Amino acid sequence: MIKLMLIVAVAILFTGTASAAVTYTVDDDGGQDFTTIGEAVTSADWGDRIIVYPGIYSENDFDIYKIYSIVSYSGDPSDTIIEYNGSYGRFSVDGSLLGGESILLSGFTINNYKIIPNMCEIKNNILISSEINGGFENYASSVKIYDNVFEGKGVSLYRASPSATEIVGNHFYNCSIALNSKDCSQMNVENNEFSHNNVAIRINYAGINLVSNKIYDNDIGIAGGNSVENVIYNNYFNNTINTEGLAILTPHTFSVPVSSGPNIIGGPSIGGNYWAKPDGTGFSQTHSDTNSDGFCDEQFEIYGLGIYSEILVGIDYYPLADWIPANSSQKAIYTVDDDGGKDFLTIKEAVDAIPIDSLGVNEIIVYPGTYTENIEVYHDKVTIRSYSGNPEDTVINGDGGTVFDVYTRPGYKRTVFVLDGFTVTGAGCGVSAEKEQAYYSIYNNVFDDNEHGILMREQIEVDIHDNVFQNNDIGMKIKRCTIYDYEIRNNTLTENDIGIESNDNSVTISNNRLYTNNQAIVLMTSGSKLINNKIYDNNLGIYVAVTGRVPIINNYLNNTINTEGIYYNTILNGTISTGPNIVGGPSIGGNYWAKPDGTGFSQTHPDNDGDGFCDEEYEIYNEYGSSIIGVDHYPLAKEQSCLSNAEVPEFPTIALPLIAIVGLALFFKRR
């Protein structure tokens, strides 16, 4: 009776205050209701909402149970970051007292928290070293986990409610156990991607529906303890071990009655799963489909491992076969010519023709011509290259818009995009890739007369090399790479207002030539490294707008102003190692400091012992000349045999030795 009275009292209280619900705003820069999320949560009453503006928020534990939602203003997890102010925090999100409503948590990067869910929806977040862990401290019911990225830790649910537990559209990688379900039933796990985990999914009960997931490059795909009678179909498996430890008493269901597709690999029908192995020996890879129905001609019997290797765990009656559409090769190739005679007249038509669920490589070959295009690319594994390989004869004009707008469609968390052999001009942006995580390789292109040549944010792996950027407002701008490194190498950037702008990245800028720009390189974060570049004849060579450690090593600098914004902990030299260095000298250490009028430090200071360095250190002073803000302990000396005042060096044939920067890597590697 007391419990019933309490519930009624809470319901009356909530009903009485619902009309007065307000929305609070948070901005760590001020100007809104609060500067911390914790203050907003403490002040909020029943039914209120919280909107958080972009910023980095160092917070304590959270106990959220009154409010309807806490969301980022931008909807972009990469610019609104919640970090625990300690080693590991508790983040409870419990909507059980909201009269049937659930709490929405959306749009954040969340670092170092254990999120405890109940009656909530956790959507569109990036969780780094954070986990969702429900049912161990409290009963977890109606938990919906949609479209998140998990790195390092995943989801563990224990005795979750038998209804409304959904895990859909997430990407799990680098986790010990990505999804751990213990004593849960009727859980729907659909359209997720599991990669590079020790164990992708561990199941310890009955009633899990595992449908349309991509599970690949893991040590173990599915591990089971006492799991029985789970339904597992239309998944893509390609792991060292696809199944391990599944219960042998009650077989699992690995296929369903045949229905129209497409299936997980693009075949015509849905039935079972695609069974592959990294070495190419998987059942689906080695068994034929002679009638082209999309299924292997034989059923796949799944046995236990070790001492249970002769015991049948389950049967996939309709294992998916490698699917190659009629009149197509393993790699789908589409051709484009604006004069006709090929598959399509425009690149956009070719991209739009790629099947939405294609898992293979899709290559678009574009014949010489001038194309006016604005193209959305949201398919996986797309390569767009010119037939001639010559950017001069295959031109794409953006007509003020974005030429290639590359993003990942909902439910998928990785896109592969390759661009080779074009001139991209007249665009607001040549290649735009924001908010999603992907692999990009962009090479052998000319980006001319655009607002942005390339604009990228929050990508996983990027390799931009051997391109020309000229006459752009900004040649390339890259922001917020928090997972893997960018590589920007062997590019030429000239006549841009800004050549390269690096903002909040782990980016290595190496072996590039930057000349006659207004500003060659602008560094807005300590995650960047400048190595072995030729930077000359610019108004400003390098602008450093960050107080963190930035290594600037073995570069040739000869500009009106070589550096601006250097701070005390900017690193201007590495450990001495064997060369040749950027100007052909015998040793690598610091940078070559020149001026167009011949008065640069390296031009005017001798190297009497012939070690390749000036005999004195190069001290850089602040703009007032009153204090030293940087020191190059090993400034490179001019090599008379290979360099005159007017000459710009060619790159040495060997790269900067690892020993010169390995000691620095600990400072700059960001996860």
pLDDT digits 0-9 by tens, 52-69: 999 999 999 999 999 999
Contact 393, 368 (CB under 8 A): yes
Q: Label each residue of 326-352 as H, E or C.
A: CCCCCCEEEEECCCCCCCECCHHHHHH
Cross-strand bridge partners of residue 383: 363, 418
The enclosing H or E element of 521 equals strand 519-523
Residue where a domain stops, chosen among 448, 479, 510 = 479
199 and 131, same domain (yes or no):
no
Tell which residue, 512, 530, 566, 505, has the closest CA to residue 661.
530
Distance separating alpha carbons of residues 231 and 252, to the nearest angstrom: 6
Residue where a domain stops, chosen among 427, 450, 479 = 479
141 and 228, same domain (yes or no):
no
Note down the domain range covering 508.
490-671
Contact 465, 459 (CB under 8 A): no
175 and 115, same domain (yes or no):
no
Query: Among residues of the chain, what percentage have pLDDT more than 70?
Result: 80
Q: With respect to residue 158, please indicate whether it lies within any of the assigned structural domains.
A: no
Q: What is the pLDDT of residues 452-464, one digit of tens each?
A: 999 987 666 788 9
Distance separating alpha carbons of residues 484 and 527, to the nearest angstrom: 11
Q: With respect to residue 379, please indicate whether it lies within any of the assigned structural domains.
A: yes
554 and 589, same domain (yes or no):
yes
- The dihedral built from the CA positions of residue 128, 131, 132 and 137, taken in this order, carries a sign that is negative
Which is higher by pLDDT, 175 or 657? 175
343 and 460, same domain (yes or no):
yes
Q: What is the pLDDT of residues 363-414, one digit of tens each?
A: 999 999 999 999 999 887 899 999 999 999 999 999 999 999 988 765 555 5
Contact 584, 642 (CB under 8 A): yes
Q: Reply yes or no on whether the pLDDT at 326 is more than 60.
A: no
Task: Give pLDDT, residue 513.
Answer: 97
471 and 495, same domain (yes or no):
no
Q: Is 605 helix (H, G, I), strand (E, B) or coil?
A: coil
Task: Give pLDDT, residue 627.
Answer: 80
Confidence label for 12 from pLDDT (cuts 50, 70 and 90): very low
Amino acid of residue 87: S
Q: Is 280 helix (H, G, I), strand (E, B) or coil?
A: coil
Domain count, the chain: 4
Amino acid of residue 221: G
346 and 456, same domain (yes or no):
yes
202 and 278, same domain (yes or no):
yes
Task: Give pLDDT, residue 412.
Answer: 55
Which tokens in the block code for residue 373?
Answer: 């295009």
DSSP state of 2: H
Q: Which of 264-268, 282-286, 607-611, 639-643 has the lowest mean pLDDT?
A: 639-643
Which tokens in the block code for residue 337?
Answer: 């010519």
464 and 504, same domain (yes or no):
no
Residue with tokens 């102010």: 85
Distance separating alpha carbons of residues 620 and 605, to the nearest angstrom: 15
Q: With respect to residue 155, please indicate whether it lies within any of the assigned structural domains.
A: no
Q: With respect to residue 157, please indicate whether it lies within any of the assigned structural domains.
A: no
Mean pLDDT over 146-171 rounds to 81
Alpha helices (runs of H) in 489-634, residue ranges in sequence order = 601-604
Q: With respect to residue 201, please indicate whether it lies within any of the assigned structural domains.
A: yes
408 and 498, same domain (yes or no):
no
Its pTM stands at 0.54
Q: Reply yes or no on whether the pLDDT at 429 is more than 70.
A: yes
125 and 13, same domain (yes or no):
yes
26 and 112, same domain (yes or no):
yes
- The rounded mean pLDDT for the chain is 83
DSSP state of 131: E
Q: With respect to residue 164, please indicate whether it lies within any of the assigned structural domains.
A: no
Q: With respect to residue 129, please indicate whether it lies within any of the assigned structural domains.
A: yes
Confidence label for 14 from pLDDT (cuts 50, 70 and 90): very low
Residue where a domain stops, chosen among 267, 301, 323 = 323
Mean pLDDT over 524-534 rounds to 84
